[in-house]
Amino acid sequence: MRDETGRVTVTRQKQGYQQVRVHFLILILSLVCFPLRPVVGQTDPSGVSKLNMVASVNPIATDAGLKAFEQGGNAVDAAVATALTLGVVDGFNSGIGGGCFILIRTADGKLVAIDGREMAPGAAHRDMYLRDGVADGNLSRVGPLASGVPGALKAYSEAVAGYGKLPFASLALEAADVAEEGFPVDRVYSGRLRSTQRYLKQFPGSAAALLKADGSVYQPGEVLRQPDLANTLKQISKSGTDWFYQGEFARKTADWMSENGGIMTVEDFKNYKTVNRDPVRTTYRGYEIIGFPPPSSGGVHVAQILNILESFDLAELHQQDPAQMRHVVAEAMKLAFADRAYWLGDPDYVKVPRGLIDKQYARDLAKKIKLDQVSAVTAHGTPPRKDGDFFGKHTTHVAAADSQGNWVAITTTVNTTFGSKVIVPGLGVVMNNEMDDFSIAPGVPNAFGLVGGENNAVAAGKRPLSSMSPTIVLKDGQPIMTIGAAGGPKIITQVVWGIINHLDLGMPIGQSIGAPRIHHQWSPDRLAVERSLEADQVKRLKELGHDVSLTSSSGVTQAIAWDPEKGLFTGAHDPRVPGKAAGQQQR
Protein backbone atom coordinates (compact mmCIF):
# COMPACT_ATOMS: atom_id res chain seq x y z
CA MET A 1 0.00 0.00 0.00
CA ARG A 2 1.02 3.65 -0.35
CA ASP A 3 1.23 6.12 2.54
CA GLU A 4 0.32 9.80 2.35
CA THR A 5 3.72 10.62 0.79
CA GLY A 6 3.15 8.19 -2.04
CA ARG A 7 5.84 5.75 -0.84
CA VAL A 8 5.08 2.06 -0.88
CA THR A 9 5.19 0.53 2.62
CA VAL A 10 5.07 -3.07 3.80
CA THR A 11 3.97 -4.49 7.15
CA ARG A 12 6.91 -5.74 9.20
CA GLN A 13 6.51 -9.47 9.62
CA LYS A 14 10.02 -10.81 9.85
CA GLN A 15 12.65 -9.64 12.29
CA GLY A 16 16.41 -9.31 12.20
CA TYR A 17 16.98 -13.09 12.14
CA GLN A 18 16.16 -13.30 8.43
CA GLN A 19 18.47 -10.40 7.57
CA VAL A 20 21.36 -11.97 9.47
CA ARG A 21 20.63 -15.29 7.78
CA VAL A 22 20.59 -13.64 4.33
CA HIS A 23 23.86 -11.82 4.93
CA PHE A 24 25.52 -15.00 6.22
CA LEU A 25 24.38 -16.98 3.17
CA ILE A 26 25.54 -14.17 0.87
CA LEU A 27 29.00 -14.46 2.37
CA ILE A 28 29.12 -18.25 2.14
CA LEU A 29 27.70 -18.41 -1.38
CA SER A 30 29.97 -15.68 -2.67
CA LEU A 31 32.98 -17.58 -1.39
CA VAL A 32 31.74 -20.79 -3.00
CA CYS A 33 30.79 -19.26 -6.33
CA PHE A 34 33.53 -16.65 -6.58
CA PRO A 35 36.45 -18.04 -4.56
CA LEU A 36 39.23 -15.60 -3.89
CA ARG A 37 42.53 -16.82 -5.28
CA PRO A 38 45.93 -15.92 -3.87
CA VAL A 39 47.18 -12.71 -5.46
CA VAL A 40 50.22 -10.57 -4.93
CA GLY A 41 49.72 -8.18 -2.01
CA GLN A 42 46.33 -8.36 -0.32
CA THR A 43 43.36 -10.65 -0.87
CA ASP A 44 41.06 -8.99 1.68
CA PRO A 45 38.56 -7.08 -0.48
CA SER A 46 38.58 -4.14 1.93
CA GLY A 47 41.26 -1.76 3.17
CA VAL A 48 41.14 1.03 5.75
CA SER A 49 43.14 4.20 6.28
CA LYS A 50 42.76 7.60 7.94
CA LEU A 51 44.94 9.23 5.27
CA ASN A 52 43.83 8.14 1.81
CA MET A 53 42.57 5.22 -0.24
CA VAL A 54 42.78 3.73 -3.71
CA ALA A 55 40.98 0.66 -5.07
CA SER A 56 41.37 -1.23 -8.33
CA VAL A 57 41.14 -4.71 -9.83
CA ASN A 58 44.87 -5.31 -9.65
CA PRO A 59 47.26 -5.16 -6.66
CA ILE A 60 50.16 -3.92 -8.82
CA ALA A 61 48.04 -1.03 -10.09
CA THR A 62 46.79 -0.18 -6.61
CA ASP A 63 50.40 -0.19 -5.39
CA ALA A 64 51.22 2.35 -8.13
CA GLY A 65 48.51 4.58 -6.66
CA LEU A 66 49.91 4.11 -3.17
CA LYS A 67 53.37 5.04 -4.44
CA ALA A 68 51.94 8.27 -5.84
CA PHE A 69 50.53 9.06 -2.39
CA GLU A 70 53.91 8.28 -0.80
CA GLN A 71 55.63 10.67 -3.22
CA GLY A 72 53.39 13.51 -2.07
CA GLY A 73 50.63 13.15 -4.63
CA ASN A 74 46.93 13.54 -3.99
CA ALA A 75 43.94 11.38 -4.97
CA VAL A 76 44.05 12.61 -8.58
CA ASP A 77 47.70 11.54 -8.95
CA ALA A 78 46.98 8.20 -7.28
CA ALA A 79 43.98 7.49 -9.48
CA VAL A 80 45.83 8.33 -12.70
CA ALA A 81 48.92 6.34 -11.65
CA THR A 82 46.63 3.39 -10.99
CA ALA A 83 44.81 3.81 -14.32
CA LEU A 84 48.06 4.03 -16.32
CA THR A 85 49.37 0.87 -14.65
CA LEU A 86 46.09 -0.94 -15.23
CA GLY A 87 46.72 -0.34 -18.94
CA VAL A 88 49.77 -2.56 -18.50
CA VAL A 89 48.67 -5.29 -16.08
CA ASP A 90 44.95 -5.28 -16.97
CA GLY A 91 45.24 -4.36 -20.64
CA PHE A 92 42.33 -6.52 -21.75
CA ASN A 93 40.07 -4.03 -19.94
CA SER A 94 41.68 -0.64 -20.42
CA GLY A 95 44.70 1.32 -21.57
CA ILE A 96 45.83 4.41 -23.43
CA GLY A 97 44.38 2.95 -26.64
CA GLY A 98 40.91 3.48 -25.14
CA GLY A 99 38.85 6.15 -23.44
CA CYS A 100 37.64 7.21 -20.01
CA PHE A 101 35.37 9.38 -17.93
CA ILE A 102 36.96 11.15 -14.96
CA LEU A 103 34.83 12.57 -12.15
CA ILE A 104 36.63 14.67 -9.53
CA ARG A 105 35.53 16.44 -6.39
CA THR A 106 38.40 18.73 -5.41
CA ALA A 107 39.47 19.68 -1.90
CA ASP A 108 37.78 23.08 -2.29
CA GLY A 109 34.48 21.49 -3.31
CA LYS A 110 34.67 21.94 -7.08
CA LEU A 111 33.07 19.22 -9.22
CA VAL A 112 34.87 18.31 -12.45
CA ALA A 113 33.83 15.91 -15.24
CA ILE A 114 36.50 15.27 -17.89
CA ASP A 115 35.18 13.47 -20.97
CA GLY A 116 37.98 11.37 -22.46
CA ARG A 117 35.61 9.22 -24.53
CA GLU A 118 36.84 8.12 -27.96
CA MET A 119 35.75 10.03 -31.06
CA ALA A 120 34.71 8.56 -34.39
CA PRO A 121 37.29 9.18 -37.17
CA GLY A 122 36.61 11.98 -39.62
CA ALA A 123 35.72 9.54 -42.38
CA ALA A 124 33.16 7.67 -40.26
CA HIS A 125 29.55 7.75 -41.41
CA ARG A 126 26.16 6.37 -40.49
CA ASP A 127 26.20 3.38 -42.85
CA MET A 128 29.87 2.39 -42.62
CA TYR A 129 29.08 -1.05 -41.18
CA LEU A 130 26.41 -1.97 -43.73
CA ARG A 131 27.32 -4.55 -46.35
CA ASP A 132 24.71 -5.13 -49.04
CA GLY A 133 22.26 -3.26 -46.82
CA VAL A 134 22.85 -5.50 -43.79
CA ALA A 135 24.72 -4.46 -40.63
CA ASP A 136 27.92 -6.48 -40.07
CA GLY A 137 28.67 -6.37 -36.34
CA ASN A 138 32.05 -8.04 -36.79
CA LEU A 139 33.39 -4.91 -38.50
CA SER A 140 32.63 -2.74 -35.46
CA ARG A 141 34.17 -5.22 -33.01
CA VAL A 142 37.35 -6.63 -34.53
CA GLY A 143 39.95 -5.04 -36.76
CA PRO A 144 40.82 -1.63 -38.21
CA LEU A 145 37.30 -0.20 -38.51
CA ALA A 146 36.41 -0.92 -34.88
CA SER A 147 38.46 1.80 -33.18
CA GLY A 148 37.59 5.34 -32.25
CA VAL A 149 40.36 7.89 -31.64
CA PRO A 150 41.68 7.16 -28.12
CA GLY A 151 41.07 9.79 -25.44
CA ALA A 152 42.22 8.27 -22.14
CA LEU A 153 45.80 9.52 -22.31
CA LYS A 154 44.83 13.15 -22.91
CA ALA A 155 42.22 13.01 -20.14
CA TYR A 156 44.71 11.54 -17.64
CA SER A 157 47.27 14.19 -18.51
CA GLU A 158 44.79 17.04 -18.19
CA ALA A 159 43.45 15.73 -14.87
CA VAL A 160 46.93 15.66 -13.35
CA ALA A 161 47.92 19.02 -14.82
CA GLY A 162 44.79 20.69 -13.52
CA TYR A 163 44.18 18.98 -10.20
CA GLY A 164 47.15 16.80 -9.27
CA LYS A 165 50.47 17.56 -7.56
CA LEU A 166 52.96 15.26 -9.33
CA PRO A 167 54.45 15.53 -12.85
CA PHE A 168 52.48 13.42 -15.31
CA ALA A 169 55.80 12.29 -16.80
CA SER A 170 56.75 10.51 -13.59
CA LEU A 171 53.45 8.62 -13.47
CA ALA A 172 53.86 7.46 -17.08
CA LEU A 173 57.42 6.36 -16.35
CA GLU A 174 56.29 4.24 -13.40
CA ALA A 175 53.85 2.40 -15.69
CA ALA A 176 56.63 1.99 -18.28
CA ASP A 177 58.81 0.28 -15.67
CA VAL A 178 56.07 -2.26 -14.94
CA ALA A 179 55.68 -3.00 -18.66
CA GLU A 180 59.43 -3.42 -19.09
CA GLU A 181 60.04 -5.56 -16.02
CA GLY A 182 56.91 -7.63 -16.60
CA PHE A 183 54.36 -9.05 -14.20
CA PRO A 184 53.02 -12.50 -13.34
CA VAL A 185 49.85 -13.17 -15.29
CA ASP A 186 46.92 -14.05 -13.00
CA ARG A 187 44.07 -16.45 -13.72
CA VAL A 188 41.83 -13.67 -15.05
CA TYR A 189 44.40 -12.32 -17.51
CA SER A 190 45.29 -15.83 -18.70
CA GLY A 191 41.61 -16.62 -19.22
CA ARG A 192 41.09 -13.46 -21.26
CA LEU A 193 44.07 -14.32 -23.45
CA ARG A 194 42.66 -17.78 -24.00
CA SER A 195 39.21 -16.47 -24.91
CA THR A 196 40.62 -14.09 -27.57
CA GLN A 197 43.64 -16.08 -28.75
CA ARG A 198 42.27 -16.82 -32.22
CA TYR A 199 41.56 -13.12 -32.83
CA LEU A 200 44.91 -11.94 -31.48
CA LYS A 201 46.66 -14.32 -33.87
CA GLN A 202 45.05 -12.47 -36.80
CA PHE A 203 47.19 -9.39 -36.08
CA PRO A 204 50.99 -9.83 -35.96
CA GLY A 205 51.50 -6.90 -33.58
CA SER A 206 48.97 -8.32 -31.12
CA ALA A 207 50.36 -11.85 -31.28
CA ALA A 208 53.91 -10.59 -30.75
CA ALA A 209 52.91 -8.48 -27.75
CA LEU A 210 50.50 -10.76 -25.93
CA LEU A 211 51.19 -14.37 -26.94
CA LYS A 212 54.26 -16.57 -26.67
CA ALA A 213 56.53 -17.06 -29.67
CA ASP A 214 54.70 -20.29 -30.56
CA GLY A 215 51.32 -18.56 -30.35
CA SER A 216 50.33 -20.14 -27.05
CA VAL A 217 48.81 -18.34 -24.06
CA TYR A 218 50.65 -17.23 -20.92
CA GLN A 219 49.61 -19.39 -17.98
CA PRO A 220 48.91 -18.08 -14.45
CA GLY A 221 52.19 -17.24 -12.74
CA GLU A 222 54.18 -16.79 -15.95
CA VAL A 223 55.72 -13.37 -16.52
CA LEU A 224 54.50 -11.20 -19.39
CA ARG A 225 56.88 -8.45 -20.51
CA GLN A 226 55.78 -5.73 -22.94
CA PRO A 227 58.86 -3.86 -24.22
CA ASP A 228 57.01 -2.03 -27.01
CA LEU A 229 54.40 -0.70 -24.58
CA ALA A 230 57.21 0.26 -22.20
CA ASN A 231 58.89 2.26 -24.95
CA THR A 232 55.63 4.00 -25.85
CA LEU A 233 55.11 5.05 -22.23
CA LYS A 234 58.73 6.21 -21.98
CA GLN A 235 58.30 8.35 -25.08
CA ILE A 236 55.15 9.87 -23.60
CA SER A 237 57.03 10.53 -20.35
CA LYS A 238 59.86 12.18 -22.28
CA SER A 239 57.96 14.14 -24.93
CA GLY A 240 54.44 14.49 -23.50
CA THR A 241 51.13 13.54 -25.04
CA ASP A 242 52.02 15.32 -28.31
CA TRP A 243 54.19 12.29 -29.17
CA PHE A 244 50.99 10.24 -29.07
CA TYR A 245 48.53 12.67 -30.69
CA GLN A 246 50.77 14.55 -33.11
CA GLY A 247 53.94 12.51 -33.41
CA GLU A 248 55.25 9.02 -34.04
CA PHE A 249 52.37 7.11 -32.45
CA ALA A 250 49.77 8.88 -34.59
CA ARG A 251 51.81 8.45 -37.79
CA LYS A 252 52.50 4.74 -37.29
CA THR A 253 48.90 4.03 -36.35
CA ALA A 254 47.54 5.97 -39.33
CA ASP A 255 49.93 4.16 -41.69
CA TRP A 256 48.85 0.77 -40.35
CA MET A 257 45.18 1.71 -40.66
CA SER A 258 45.65 2.82 -44.27
CA GLU A 259 47.45 -0.40 -45.17
CA ASN A 260 44.82 -2.60 -43.51
CA GLY A 261 41.53 -1.03 -44.57
CA GLY A 262 41.04 1.37 -41.67
CA ILE A 263 40.00 5.04 -41.83
CA MET A 264 41.77 6.63 -38.85
CA THR A 265 44.26 9.33 -39.90
CA VAL A 266 46.95 11.57 -38.44
CA GLU A 267 44.43 14.42 -38.61
CA ASP A 268 42.00 12.43 -36.47
CA PHE A 269 44.63 12.20 -33.72
CA LYS A 270 45.48 15.90 -34.02
CA ASN A 271 41.81 16.84 -33.81
CA TYR A 272 41.07 14.80 -30.68
CA LYS A 273 39.97 16.87 -27.70
CA THR A 274 38.59 16.20 -24.27
CA VAL A 275 35.47 18.02 -23.09
CA ASN A 276 34.82 19.45 -19.63
CA ARG A 277 31.17 18.76 -18.88
CA ASP A 278 28.71 19.63 -16.14
CA PRO A 279 28.13 16.63 -13.87
CA VAL A 280 24.67 15.13 -13.46
CA ARG A 281 23.31 16.03 -10.01
CA THR A 282 20.31 14.58 -8.22
CA THR A 283 19.29 13.70 -4.68
CA TYR A 284 18.40 10.39 -3.07
CA ARG A 285 16.97 10.16 0.44
CA GLY A 286 18.89 13.20 1.66
CA TYR A 287 22.14 12.39 -0.20
CA GLU A 288 23.41 14.14 -3.32
CA ILE A 289 24.37 11.85 -6.18
CA ILE A 290 26.99 13.19 -8.60
CA GLY A 291 27.28 11.32 -11.89
CA PHE A 292 28.77 11.69 -15.35
CA PRO A 293 26.64 13.36 -18.06
CA PRO A 294 26.09 12.24 -21.68
CA PRO A 295 27.66 10.73 -23.71
CA SER A 296 27.61 8.61 -20.56
CA SER A 297 24.20 7.09 -20.07
CA GLY A 298 25.39 6.03 -16.63
CA GLY A 299 24.97 9.29 -14.75
CA VAL A 300 21.53 9.90 -16.23
CA HIS A 301 20.16 6.43 -15.60
CA VAL A 302 21.72 5.84 -12.19
CA ALA A 303 19.93 9.05 -11.24
CA GLN A 304 16.71 8.02 -12.99
CA ILE A 305 16.61 4.57 -11.37
CA LEU A 306 17.27 6.02 -7.92
CA ASN A 307 14.60 8.67 -8.48
CA ILE A 308 12.08 5.95 -9.34
CA LEU A 309 13.09 3.91 -6.27
CA GLU A 310 12.54 6.86 -3.93
CA SER A 311 8.82 6.02 -4.17
CA PHE A 312 9.48 2.73 -2.38
CA ASP A 313 10.70 1.92 1.12
CA LEU A 314 13.39 -0.51 0.00
CA ALA A 315 14.67 -1.26 3.51
CA GLU A 316 11.22 -2.35 4.67
CA LEU A 317 10.54 -4.27 1.47
CA HIS A 318 13.86 -6.05 1.90
CA GLN A 319 13.10 -6.99 5.49
CA GLN A 320 9.76 -8.59 4.62
CA ASP A 321 10.56 -10.07 1.21
CA PRO A 322 14.06 -9.56 -0.28
CA ALA A 323 12.97 -11.01 -3.62
CA GLN A 324 10.13 -8.51 -3.88
CA MET A 325 12.58 -5.68 -3.22
CA ARG A 326 14.80 -6.99 -6.02
CA HIS A 327 11.74 -7.22 -8.27
CA VAL A 328 10.99 -3.53 -7.70
CA VAL A 329 14.59 -2.58 -8.48
CA ALA A 330 14.53 -4.69 -11.66
CA GLU A 331 11.34 -2.98 -12.83
CA ALA A 332 12.92 0.43 -12.28
CA MET A 333 15.96 -0.66 -14.27
CA LYS A 334 13.75 -1.81 -17.12
CA LEU A 335 11.96 1.53 -17.34
CA ALA A 336 15.25 3.45 -17.39
CA PHE A 337 16.89 1.26 -20.03
CA ALA A 338 13.87 1.68 -22.32
CA ASP A 339 14.50 5.43 -22.16
CA ARG A 340 18.24 4.88 -22.70
CA ALA A 341 17.65 3.10 -25.99
CA TYR A 342 15.68 6.02 -27.43
CA TRP A 343 16.91 9.26 -25.89
CA LEU A 344 20.63 8.95 -25.19
CA GLY A 345 23.53 9.99 -27.41
CA ASP A 346 26.41 12.47 -27.70
CA PRO A 347 25.01 15.83 -26.48
CA ASP A 348 27.27 17.66 -28.93
CA TYR A 349 25.28 16.07 -31.76
CA VAL A 350 21.79 15.29 -30.40
CA LYS A 351 19.37 16.70 -27.85
CA VAL A 352 19.27 14.63 -24.63
CA PRO A 353 16.41 15.87 -22.41
CA ARG A 354 17.20 16.76 -18.80
CA GLY A 355 13.65 15.69 -17.99
CA LEU A 356 14.92 12.11 -17.78
CA ILE A 357 16.08 12.90 -14.22
CA ASP A 358 13.00 14.95 -13.30
CA LYS A 359 11.57 13.84 -9.94
CA GLN A 360 7.93 14.02 -11.04
CA TYR A 361 8.72 12.00 -14.17
CA ALA A 362 10.29 9.36 -11.91
CA ARG A 363 7.22 9.30 -9.66
CA ASP A 364 5.02 8.81 -12.73
CA LEU A 365 7.19 5.91 -13.87
CA ALA A 366 7.13 4.41 -10.36
CA LYS A 367 3.35 4.15 -10.56
CA LYS A 368 3.79 1.65 -13.41
CA ILE A 369 5.58 -0.80 -11.10
CA LYS A 370 3.42 -3.53 -9.58
CA LEU A 371 4.60 -5.22 -6.40
CA ASP A 372 3.11 -8.58 -7.27
CA GLN A 373 3.96 -9.06 -10.94
CA VAL A 374 6.12 -7.99 -13.87
CA SER A 375 4.86 -5.05 -15.91
CA ALA A 376 5.27 -4.89 -19.68
CA VAL A 377 7.43 -2.01 -20.92
CA THR A 378 6.78 -1.80 -24.64
CA ALA A 379 8.52 1.50 -25.37
CA HIS A 380 10.34 4.48 -23.92
CA GLY A 381 8.66 7.15 -21.82
CA THR A 382 8.29 10.83 -22.64
CA PRO A 383 10.14 13.01 -20.14
CA PRO A 384 9.01 16.58 -19.45
CA ARG A 385 10.50 19.46 -21.46
CA LYS A 386 11.77 17.00 -24.07
CA ASP A 387 11.96 19.78 -26.67
CA GLY A 388 13.46 22.59 -24.63
CA ASP A 389 15.82 21.51 -21.80
CA PHE A 390 18.87 19.49 -22.75
CA PHE A 391 22.16 18.32 -21.35
CA GLY A 392 25.06 20.53 -22.48
CA LYS A 393 26.86 19.99 -25.53
CA HIS A 394 35.33 -4.15 -20.92
CA THR A 395 36.11 -1.56 -18.74
CA THR A 396 37.67 -1.02 -15.33
CA HIS A 397 37.15 1.45 -12.52
CA VAL A 398 39.53 3.25 -10.17
CA ALA A 399 38.40 4.89 -6.93
CA ALA A 400 40.64 7.21 -4.93
CA ALA A 401 40.27 9.68 -2.07
CA ASP A 402 42.47 11.61 0.33
CA SER A 403 42.08 13.38 3.65
CA GLN A 404 42.42 16.81 2.01
CA GLY A 405 39.01 16.26 0.43
CA ASN A 406 39.96 15.18 -3.09
CA TRP A 407 37.77 12.34 -4.38
CA VAL A 408 38.20 10.71 -7.79
CA ALA A 409 36.22 8.19 -9.85
CA ILE A 410 37.77 7.06 -13.14
CA THR A 411 36.06 4.53 -15.37
CA THR A 412 38.24 3.60 -18.32
CA THR A 413 37.91 1.05 -21.10
CA VAL A 414 38.92 -0.41 -24.45
CA ASN A 415 35.37 -1.90 -24.58
CA THR A 416 35.30 -5.69 -25.06
CA THR A 417 38.23 -7.95 -24.12
CA PHE A 418 41.42 -6.54 -25.73
CA GLY A 419 39.26 -4.06 -27.65
CA SER A 420 39.56 -4.41 -31.42
CA LYS A 421 42.29 -7.06 -30.87
CA VAL A 422 44.63 -4.74 -32.79
CA ILE A 423 48.09 -3.72 -31.58
CA VAL A 424 50.00 -1.76 -34.19
CA PRO A 425 53.43 -3.45 -34.53
CA GLY A 426 56.09 -1.74 -32.45
CA LEU A 427 53.72 0.35 -30.34
CA GLY A 428 52.39 -2.19 -27.82
CA VAL A 429 49.04 -0.40 -27.30
CA VAL A 430 45.72 -2.29 -27.46
CA MET A 431 43.35 -0.29 -29.68
CA ASN A 432 39.73 0.01 -28.56
CA ASN A 433 36.60 -1.19 -30.34
CA GLU A 434 34.32 1.58 -29.09
CA MET A 435 32.74 2.05 -32.52
CA ASP A 436 30.57 -0.91 -31.51
CA ASP A 437 29.00 1.33 -28.86
CA PHE A 438 27.31 3.32 -31.62
CA SER A 439 24.07 2.06 -33.08
CA ILE A 440 25.59 0.57 -36.20
CA ALA A 441 22.02 0.32 -37.50
CA PRO A 442 18.73 1.13 -35.74
CA GLY A 443 17.56 -1.82 -33.66
CA VAL A 444 20.74 -3.88 -34.18
CA PRO A 445 22.19 -4.98 -30.79
CA ASN A 446 25.84 -4.43 -29.96
CA ALA A 447 28.19 -6.87 -28.21
CA PHE A 448 26.29 -6.35 -24.94
CA GLY A 449 22.84 -6.84 -26.45
CA LEU A 450 22.02 -3.12 -26.24
CA VAL A 451 19.97 -1.53 -28.98
CA GLY A 452 19.88 2.14 -29.86
CA GLY A 453 18.19 4.65 -32.09
CA GLU A 454 19.18 7.53 -34.34
CA ASN A 455 20.51 9.60 -31.44
CA ASN A 456 23.44 7.17 -31.18
CA ALA A 457 24.07 6.64 -34.91
CA VAL A 458 27.65 6.83 -36.23
CA ALA A 459 28.87 10.28 -37.31
CA ALA A 460 32.30 11.80 -37.90
CA GLY A 461 33.83 13.18 -34.70
CA LYS A 462 30.95 11.90 -32.58
CA ARG A 463 31.43 10.09 -29.26
CA PRO A 464 29.57 6.79 -28.82
CA LEU A 465 27.12 6.31 -25.99
CA SER A 466 28.64 4.69 -22.91
CA SER A 467 27.37 2.95 -19.78
CA MET A 468 30.37 4.05 -17.71
CA SER A 469 29.07 5.48 -14.43
CA PRO A 470 31.72 7.06 -12.19
CA THR A 471 29.77 8.35 -9.20
CA ILE A 472 30.40 10.38 -6.06
CA VAL A 473 27.90 10.61 -3.17
CA LEU A 474 27.72 13.67 -0.90
CA LYS A 475 26.04 14.18 2.48
CA ASP A 476 25.60 17.77 3.62
CA GLY A 477 28.02 18.80 0.87
CA GLN A 478 30.79 16.44 1.95
CA PRO A 479 31.85 13.27 0.06
CA ILE A 480 31.02 10.04 1.83
CA MET A 481 31.25 7.52 -1.02
CA THR A 482 32.63 7.00 -4.52
CA ILE A 483 31.76 4.04 -6.71
CA GLY A 484 32.06 2.77 -10.26
CA ALA A 485 32.15 -0.49 -12.13
CA ALA A 486 33.01 -2.54 -15.19
CA GLY A 487 30.69 -4.74 -17.20
CA GLY A 488 29.03 -2.94 -20.12
CA PRO A 489 25.39 -2.02 -19.38
CA LYS A 490 25.67 -3.84 -16.05
CA ILE A 491 27.88 -0.95 -14.91
CA ILE A 492 24.77 1.16 -14.35
CA THR A 493 22.95 -1.44 -12.30
CA GLN A 494 26.05 -2.35 -10.29
CA VAL A 495 26.43 1.27 -9.21
CA VAL A 496 22.74 1.38 -8.28
CA TRP A 497 23.13 -1.78 -6.18
CA GLY A 498 26.22 -0.44 -4.44
CA ILE A 499 24.34 2.72 -3.47
CA ILE A 500 21.16 0.91 -2.42
CA ASN A 501 23.00 -1.71 -0.37
CA HIS A 502 25.09 0.88 1.44
CA LEU A 503 22.59 3.72 1.93
CA ASP A 504 19.23 1.88 2.14
CA LEU A 505 20.21 -1.46 3.65
CA GLY A 506 23.14 -0.26 5.76
CA MET A 507 25.65 -2.77 4.45
CA PRO A 508 29.37 -2.00 4.95
CA ILE A 509 30.93 -0.90 1.68
CA GLY A 510 32.74 -4.19 1.06
CA GLN A 511 29.58 -6.21 1.60
CA SER A 512 27.52 -3.79 -0.48
CA ILE A 513 29.56 -4.50 -3.62
CA GLY A 514 30.07 -8.21 -2.85
CA ALA A 515 26.39 -9.06 -2.36
CA PRO A 516 24.54 -10.92 -5.17
CA ARG A 517 23.18 -8.67 -7.92
CA ILE A 518 20.48 -8.76 -10.56
CA HIS A 519 20.36 -6.81 -13.82
CA HIS A 520 17.66 -5.85 -16.33
CA GLN A 521 18.34 -3.74 -19.45
CA TRP A 522 14.87 -3.83 -21.07
CA SER A 523 16.14 -5.46 -24.26
CA PRO A 524 16.38 -8.41 -24.17
CA ASP A 525 13.45 -8.73 -21.76
CA ARG A 526 15.36 -10.97 -19.40
CA LEU A 527 16.49 -10.70 -15.77
CA ALA A 528 20.14 -11.63 -15.24
CA VAL A 529 20.62 -13.08 -11.75
CA GLU A 530 23.92 -14.08 -10.18
CA ARG A 531 24.05 -17.73 -9.16
CA SER A 532 25.07 -16.75 -5.64
CA LEU A 533 21.56 -15.41 -4.96
CA GLU A 534 19.55 -17.69 -2.66
CA ALA A 535 17.50 -20.31 -4.51
CA ASP A 536 14.26 -19.29 -2.81
CA GLN A 537 14.70 -15.71 -4.04
CA VAL A 538 15.36 -16.90 -7.59
CA LYS A 539 12.20 -18.99 -7.39
CA ARG A 540 10.22 -16.03 -6.08
CA LEU A 541 11.44 -13.78 -8.91
CA LYS A 542 10.27 -16.36 -11.41
CA GLU A 543 6.88 -16.50 -9.67
CA LEU A 544 6.60 -12.73 -10.07
CA GLY A 545 6.93 -13.22 -13.83
CA HIS A 546 10.60 -12.61 -14.55
CA ASP A 547 12.38 -14.54 -17.28
CA VAL A 548 15.44 -15.39 -15.17
CA SER A 549 18.85 -16.09 -16.67
CA LEU A 550 21.52 -17.23 -14.22
CA THR A 551 25.02 -15.80 -14.58
CA SER A 552 28.27 -16.35 -12.70
CA SER A 553 28.99 -12.64 -12.39
CA SER A 554 27.30 -9.36 -13.27
CA GLY A 555 30.48 -7.30 -13.43
CA VAL A 556 33.12 -5.82 -11.15
CA THR A 557 32.77 -2.83 -8.80
CA GLN A 558 35.25 -0.67 -6.86
CA ALA A 559 34.21 1.71 -4.10
CA ILE A 560 35.40 3.85 -1.20
CA ALA A 561 33.34 5.01 1.79
CA TRP A 562 34.17 7.65 4.40
CA ASP A 563 33.08 7.41 8.03
CA PRO A 564 33.13 11.00 9.37
CA GLU A 565 32.72 9.88 12.99
CA LYS A 566 35.75 7.61 12.89
CA GLY A 567 37.63 9.72 10.36
CA LEU A 568 38.27 6.57 8.35
CA PHE A 569 38.33 5.61 4.67
CA THR A 570 37.22 2.08 3.80
CA GLY A 571 38.03 0.97 0.28
CA ALA A 572 36.68 -2.16 -1.34
CA HIS A 573 37.48 -4.10 -4.48
CA ASP A 574 35.03 -6.59 -5.89
CA PRO A 575 35.64 -10.09 -4.45
CA ARG A 576 34.56 -11.63 -7.76
CA VAL A 577 38.06 -11.01 -9.14
CA PRO A 578 41.54 -10.36 -7.73
CA GLY A 579 42.19 -6.78 -6.75
CA LYS A 580 43.31 -4.53 -3.93
CA ALA A 581 42.04 -1.62 -1.87
CA ALA A 582 44.59 0.11 0.33
CA GLY A 583 45.71 3.41 1.78
CA GLN A 584 48.71 4.80 3.59
CA GLN A 585 48.91 3.88 7.26
CA GLN A 586 51.32 6.66 8.14
CA ARG A 587 53.19 9.45 6.43
Q: Which residues are catalytic?
A: 395
Task: Tell me the HSE value of 242 on the side-chain side, using a 13 A CA sphere.
Answer: 3
Q: Phi/psi of residue 114, each to 5°?
A: -100, 120
SS3 for 485? strand
Cis preceding-peptide flag for 578 (omega within 30 of 0): no
Return the sign of the alpha-carbon dihedral for residues 161, 584, 582, 46: negative
CB 436 within 8 A of CB 447: yes
- Closest CA relative to residue 464, chosen from 311, 296, 224, 268: 296
Question: Nearest-5° angle of CA 27, CA 30, CA 33?
Answer: 150
Which amino acid is residue 205, in one-letter code? G
SS3 for 74? coil
Q: Which residues lie below 8 Å from residue 35, measured CB to CB, with a gap of 6+?
A: none
Which amino acid is residue 308, in one-letter code? I
- Closest CA relative to residue 584, chosen from 170, 172, 71, 163: 71
SS3 for 433? coil
Distance from the first to the final alpha carbon of the chain: 54
Between 227-239 and 75-89, two packed helices, what is the crossing angle to 10 degrees?
150
Q: Where are the alpha helices (DSSP H) in 71-126?
A: 75-89
